Chain A
Amino acid sequence: MAAKKTTFIRNLLIFLAILGPGIITGSVDNDAGGITTYSIAGAQYGYKLLWALIPAFVVLVVIQEMNARMGVVTGKGLADLIRENAGVKITFFIFMALLAADILNTTTEFGGIAGSTQVFGVSKYISVPIAAVFVWVLVVKGTYQSVEKVFLFFSVILLSYVVSAVMAKPDWKVVGMAFVRPEIDLNFDYMATFIAMIGTTIAPWMQFYMQSSVIEKGLKLEDYRYTRWDVTIGAFVTVLVASFIIIACASTLHVNNVVINEAQDAAMSLKPFAGALSSYVFAGGLFVASIFSATILPVATAFYVCEAFGFEAGIDKKLKEAPQFYTLYTVIIAISVIIILIPNSPLIAITFWSQALNGVLLPVVLISMMLIVNNKEVMGQYTNKPLNNIVGWVTVVVLIGLSTILLVLSFIG
């Protein structure tokens, strides 16, 4: 009996020590782009798209588990593995697309900062430059590691969306039904929103991020089963927060036929229906999520690109040692900030294009991942089980199919 108890405590301790990569990745996942997409989905289609979060959850768990496994077994980042196994041309395509998509993604993060501070009455011409300098210094001065923990704590604020949703007093019975009984509209807007939701939940750069965090944590194969739990909990939190954003917007904005285009519209529009507090809580969550992602996304992108092409990278390097890395990092932030500060910058178009790019990129990254994870020379005995392969390949096929349908529909008009 006593022995059983000690193993339980021991397991719990190991689990807590290993916890992190999955949950942090899950939190970064709900960034400005994500919040925008979920808000729009809720405002426009009510609870109709809630069901989409269930397949998104399954796919998220399966994909991130593969990333975690590749990281633990090979000790190498995804960028490394792609470069070493997929050849230079595919690597070039993936990382150029990743760079372009992530510049746009970063732009939406700064857009989120601009939007959320506007809700509190602060001009974007003040908040965005301050945020940019803050983020840049944070990373370059290397105090990032300690700050990440603070961010992790702050990401609890994302649960504020639960508060927003509850304050909006939704009909929980209808909400529950929406999860189990999908209502599918066969039109362009519905499909586009659906793909955007999947695309923002399973953003390509998250795969790289997940794998790197696992490596950095120095996880061992023996403790791998705990990592699996970490991944599952992280994905669950992501989807949970997403569903509450949709519920909050659906039960207030959709019911009252309010049309929104950006996340801060949602925050603003909540005021008359759910009260000023709910509006501020929503905007606060958006602000924290945006800053969190704006800190991680540019530096992570610069790192993966340099890693793939063999330039020195890492914030532990001096400017002289890794000039390409720092240049790239600074350029990503600079471009994003400039785009946001242009008066009437087309944030909606940017969000759309970043998601479109992600949509094209994701299948390519997934195919590369599936090939690598099934390569015995790389993974040894830890290649995919049949179930992983089925979910993986079905996801690839469905994503390519959906993106093609969307492309065709957009040409037909």
Chain B
Amino acid sequence: MQCQNLDGSDRNHKLLPLLSRLKAFLFSDKPEGSVTNMTSFYLSRILNRRVLNSDGQAFGVLKDLIVCNGEHPELIACIVKQKDNGLRILDWKGFSIDKENNKYTIECSRTEDIALPEDAVYLKKHILDKQIVDIDGVKVVRVNDVRLAAVSSGIFAVAVDVGLEGLLRRLGFAKPAKSVMQIFGKGISSKFILWSNLEAFVPPLQNLKLSTKLSKLNTLHPSELADIIEELDINTRTAIFEALDNERAADVLEELESDVQVSLLNKMDTGKAADLLEKMPADEAADILDDLQEDRAEEILDEMEKEASEEVRELMEYEDDEVGSLMTTDYISFKESATVEDTINELRRLKPESDTIYYLYVLDNDERLTATVSLRDLIVSQPETQLSEIMKKKIIYVLDTDPINSLMEIISKYSLLAIPVVNEERKMQGVVIIDDLVYELLRPKRRKM
């Protein structure tokens, strides 16, 4: 079943001003229910309350509210616990809610069973007390309460309360605490996250599809998403990861702390793990695989394409404190005989990342590093000029077995953005990019309790 609403465009048109009024109402100091045609209430205030039938007789106890998943989460059903029938899921159409003198009355005029949409959200079971992602604040927070609003077209979940006030309300001493704080001229902080700004993880987690359900997470930068994932438990992490497309998953994986990388790769399907690592720069992939248990790393390497896995294997040979362990094998090289035009065409084809484009390396026929060409010289020269005319033969390089510590001195002395790495025969091996070096230096020793 789909959520019954007006069709898209029309609905948005009608609801937008409504929502902004709602926001104004939500965050104003007006007491609850003072507006007659529009009232909002907290989930905690009505859960476990008695439901009466139309004769005013006891019908049952309200156990949960169910909204449809989507941009406008309308209340569609509720769970009522009845003495003789146990738990029943009923269509909200037969219910009404009223507030008089600070007392809520829930009335059930007719009982209709309802077939719930597959992705229905249970406000108590899935949201209350659970962790959600605050998309604006890029944080994982815990929900203390849910705010709902009744408008003419129905009741909607509008925001979750993640502040101290919500917590106190649940414990039943929000009001006394408020009065005490008033004596000191202070309020109790309340913090809401609008429904449109949150992402919840509604089980079954295997069904998460980022394209639809977790679309809001897709708006985050990979490093932000990585921060979020680090805060979540392993099952949710895996579910999110499974839902990401490979390109994005690889970007996120690269940004994660190494212990999280390890736990994810251990849990992930071997084929998927291999796909992701292929998409990553070889040096990053080697770093991650180094942290894995040997047989698991071997398993993943075997699944990877031969060319990619060989490159990674070579990098894995280096010790942790050797330059080779830090370098990337993605660099751009040309032959001396190439012209400026050839070179620029080639660059257009390769579309290198911004951190590798500034330095272009010139290699001889034996892959030995002979010179460098700067992007500037390339651009200011005539198209037919040969690289041998504009290249600089005086090059600064390091050996792949040099200690990482020696890099800092060289990079800062010559103000370099990247430095080429060669082996003992002066054959080009890769490049160390300053970003990677800075990251290595800043890498904090992190730990969660």
Could you tell me which A residues sit within 8 Å of B by CB distance?
Answer: 17, 74-76, 80, 83-84, 87-89, 92, 142-146, 212, 215-216, 218, 220, 299-300, 303-304, 309-310, 312-316
Contacts and interface: CB of A to CB of B under 8 A. Distances in A.
A142 B445 CA distance: 6
B141 A310 contact: yes
A312 B139 contact: yes
B167 A309 contact: yes
Contacts of B131: 80, 310
B129 A316 contact: no
A89 B142 contact: no
Interface in B414-447: 444-447
Given A218-B259, A315-B447, A76 B233 contact: yes
Given A216-B448, A218-B234, A218-B262, 5 more contacts: A75-B233, A75-B237, A143-B445, A304-B449, A310-B142
A145 B447 contact: yes
A215 B234 contact: yes
B341 to A, nearest CB: 51
Contact of A84 (B129, B444, B447): B129
A84 B234 CA distance: 16
A142 B171 contact: no
Interface string B236-276: 11000000000000000000000100110011000000000
The 7 closest A-B pairs by CB, nearest first: A310-B142, A75-B234, A75-B233, A218-B263, A316-B446, A303-B449, A88-B170
Contacts, number: 73
The CB with the most chain A CB atoms within 10 A, among B139, B144, B446, is that of B446
B235 interface: yes
B293 interface: yes
A87 B262 CA distance: 33
Interface in B113-161: 129-131, 139, 141-144
Contacts of B129: 83-84, 87-88
B371 interface: no
Interface of B: 129-131, 139, 141-144, 162, 167, 170-172, 233-237, 259, 262-263, 266-267, 293, 444-449
Contacts of B262: 218
Contacts of B143: 310
Given A75-B235, A84-B130, A310-B162, A315 B449 contact: yes
Contacts of A83: 129, 142
A299 B449 CA distance: 8
Nearest to A14: B293
Contacts of A299: 449
16 contacts: A76-B233, A83-B142, A88-B167, A88-B171, A215-B233, A216-B449, A218-B262, A218-B263, A220-B267, A304-B449, A310-B131, A310-B142, A310-B167, A312-B139, A316-B446, A316-B448
A357 to B, nearest CB: 20
A314 B140 CA distance: 13
A191 B381 CA distance: 93
A310 B273 CA distance: 32
B171 A89 contact: yes
Contacts of A92: 171
A220 B264 CA distance: 11
Contact of B447 (A144, A310, A312): A144
B190 to A, nearest CB: 14
Given A87-B129, A142-B444, A218 B266 contact: yes
A54 B113 CA distance: 55
Contacts of B233: 74-76, 80, 215
A216 B449 CA distance: 8
The CB with the most chain B CB atoms within 10 A, among A74, A75, A146, is that of A75
A37 to B, nearest CB: 26
